[in-house]
Structure 1
Amino acid sequence: MDGLMPIGAFARLARLTVKAVRHYDAEGLLAPAHVDPHSAYRYYRADQVRTATTIAVLRGMDVPLPVVREVLAAPDTDAVSSVLAREREKLREELARREEVLRNLDGLLRRPERVQYDVAITERDAQGVTGVSGVVRAASIDDDTGALWREACALTTSRTPLVAVFPLDLADEFETLVGLPGPASEGAHAVLPAGPWATTLHVGPYPELPMAYTALLEHVRERGHVPLGPVTETYLAGPDAVEAEDLVTRLAVALTP
């Protein structure tokens, strides 16, 4: 067959293993130019070597398969650059998240007392909260709540710490209110019920809040109380005033009377 080479010769020319070439075929990235109907032997053209090496380079950098397919299907170099630039931005954002996790872990190592929480149960009067509400995704709870917090900040000049009101049980998406506490009047967007509330204080980055919630709710359970909800976060020292390690957040959950 003129212009075609068997898979072994093709793999050698592309500096790949035969297994890798077969895998790229199985993934729909590099189909053979011809497959013998009797022997099932695969044959490739010389101009497919560049495609093979491109796949190998991208996969070697852990570029996802869908992105590799986009690169191979791109009509010109500008389109290729656009695809790779988009992937680079995603990696940059992921790296920033990873670096934040490392900083948080370093903070825990330096200050292990953060994971110890004192919980108090006190009686409260009914209280209103007036502010902005929106849908928060459980998978992006910090980012989405932060966006609501910034929106609420922009609407007030008060120095009173903002409060976020969450449901007791989280779903994939749920409504959250962030605003100023005040009287339980008809004009309030939400009214926090009167009665017993369990509270604790968290000092540190928001991604560590689940530890505080666990301590709070475990304290409630161990003492035979029943959480009623809602759950609130009061941002006593927010990201506009302090660094992540020094954020101060009061968590509270309403209990059944």
Structure 2
Amino acid sequence: MTAYLSIGDFSRATHLTVKTLRHYHQIGLLAPAEVDPHTGYRRYTTDQLSVAQVIRRFRDLDMPLEEIQAILSTPDLGLRNERIVAHLARLQEQLGRTQRAVDDLRNLLTHPAPDATGVELRAVPAVAAAAITDVIDAADGPIWMQGALGELHATLTAQGLAPSGQPGGIYADEVFTDARGESTIFVPCPGPVRPLGRVRPTVIPAAELAIITYRGESTAVDRAYATLATYVTHHALGVPGPIREYYPVGLRETPDTAMWRTEIGWPVFHTSTPPRKTDQLTAD
């Protein structure tokens, strides 16, 4: 004989609120075994307790309800496990991001921002380059940049062209102000590159820049930007124009992110001839 539980008893047994159980019923995730047509009272069987426990464990792992529903409705055990493993992998990645954020915050609290007196002033000449330009979300920037650099280098190699300078990027103000804007990744090259895929020939315009060098991956690059902005505000004449970055050491050179170097350039107007080289300020 089937044993039934009222929604209240089922709630107590599963630690799922009545409101939650009603919502799960509405979306088809956990329907009661019976609904009284006259009173609307929901009744559940004891066999449904284990299903409710599985749902609760998945929700404890922040799994979206749609994914839980897909898993529960899939009779293929292998496919179920694949979906569960995929979610666990996403959680692991999220934990990694959280740990990096904690480390960055601890570093921010225990290490004061570096002094900005060693920022380099540099006049950059115009150069011919192979480039990829797109409108991207700022959150996708690091991944998009790596993909674009890989495509650029592969295209140059296929066409027998060697890079003639450091790769870099040019970022419109909207990338920072609206979290979405036009971005260009480029690799200088001596000869005209033939358009292929997303790659196009271009000329990177000359610029006068205040430059700071940042070491490591991009998780704490905002500190370098803040230091550079402080320098420009107090010691230089900032002018309108896109932010420019150069990547002398990146994934292509080493998988060790601690060794990566990014040169961040803020457009300025030089009132005197900039020194050819000064001690570069590094922002770790």
Q: TM > 0.5 between the two?
A: yes
**1:179 partner SS:** strand
How far has the Cα of 1:210 moved from its partner? 2.2
Corresponding residue for residue 266 of structure 2: 253
Structure 1: state its 5+ residue gaps.
none
Corresponding residue for residue 214 of structure 1: 226
* Mapped pair 1:97 → 2:73: no
Match 1:165 to one of 170, 182, 189: 170
Does the C-alpha gap of structure 1 residues 129 and 106 become closer, same or farther in structure 2, counting only changes over 3 Å?
farther
Provide, for residues 17-39 of structure 1, a one-character-per-residue CA deviation record: whole Å limited to 9, x for no partner.
3x525413214332323333554
Corresponding residue for residue 275 of structure 2: none
Is the 8 Å Cα contact of residues 132 and 151 (structure 1) preserved in structure 2?
no
Larger RCO (CA under 8 A, 6+ residues apart): 2
Superposition TM-score, scaled by structure 2 size: 0.70
Is the 8 Å Cα contact of residues 166 and 232 (structure 1) preserved in structure 2?
yes
Provide, for residues 191-221 of structure 1, a one-character-per-residue CA deviation record: whole Å limited to 9, x for no partner.
3434532222222322222222233234334
Corresponding residue for residue 226 of structure 1: 239
Provide, for residues 156-184 of structure 1, a one-character-per-residue CA deviation record: whole Å limited to 9, x for no partner.
5548422222223315253322212669x
Partners in 1 of 2:262 and 2:127 — Cα distance?
A: 19
Does the C-alpha gap of structure 1 residues 71 and 142 become closer, same or farther in structure 2, counting only changes over 3 Å?
same
Q: Residue 193 of structure 1 aligns to which amino acid in structure 2?
A: P
Match 1:174 to one of 174, 182, 193: 182
Partners in 1 of 2:142 and 2:193 — Cα distance?
A: 30
Is the 8 Å Cα contact of residues 220 and 226 (structure 1) preserved in structure 2?
no
Does the C-alpha gap of structure 1 residues 203 and 81 become closer, same or farther in structure 2, counting only changes over 3 Å?
closer
> Identity of paired residues, percent?
24
* Mapped pair 1:25 → 2:22: yes
Corresponding residue for residue 5 of structure 1: 5
RMSD: 3.6
How far has the Cα of 1:91 moved from its partner? 2.2
Count of residues in correspondence between the two structures: 250
Greater Cα shift, 195-204 or 140-149: 195-204
Superposition TM-score, scaled by structure 1 size: 0.76
**2:148 partner SS:** helix
